[in-house]
Amino acid sequence: MRRMWPDEYAFLLDQAEEVDLHIPPAVQDDGSPGKAITRKALKVRISQQDFEKIWPLAEARYRVGGRLLGKAITLITSNPHYRNWHPSDGGSVENISDSGQHYTTNYVIVHFLLDDVRETAEA
């Protein structure tokens, strides 16, 4: 199934930083050590409010456009293999509204797995 990342949330990826996730080796069923894995990912700092909006999109793979055309992303939230990259505190920023009210914007650091999209073509 080809799901596209919703256009209304495309702005969340504008400031995304490409990073490598180094996943330590896991012990195999037979007790032998596995091998370490490196995965490409996007690291993004987004508002808590925006994170709550995209939470239902977590753990599913979405194709993206723009500068990331030809890639697919998966928001990491609770997958045990990626526990080091689950959403974490991204700090907060104090602001003053136009009416003079003080308010705080809380942020979250999230990671999206980043994969190449491979299309098959019929001959």
Residue 77 lies in a domain: yes
> Is the dihedral angle over the CA atoms 63, 68, 71, 77 positive or is it negative?
negative
- Average pLDDT on 48-71 reads 93
Residue 14 lies in a domain: yes
Task: Name the pLDDT band for 80 (thresholds 50, 70, 90).
Answer: confident
The whole domain housing 53 covers 7-116
pLDDT of residue 38: 92
| Per-residue tokens: 61 | 């793979």
Residue 88 lies in a domain: yes
Per the listing, tokens 């990073």 go with 19
pTM of the model: 0.83
Taking the C-alpha atoms of residue 37 and residue 72, their distance in angstroms, rounded to an integer, is: 19
Residue 123 lies in a domain: no
Residue 1 has pLDDT above 70, yes or no: no
β-strand partners of 110: 44
Residue 121 lies in a domain: no
Which pLDDT tens digit goes with each residue over 19-34? 999 988 777 777 777 7
Residue 24 lies in a domain: yes
- Structural domains counted in the chain: 1
Burial code of 13-36, b = ≥16 C-beta within 10 A, e = fewer? beebeeeebebeeeeeeeeeeeee
Taking the C-alpha atoms of residue 53 and residue 75, their distance in angstroms, rounded to an integer, is: 12
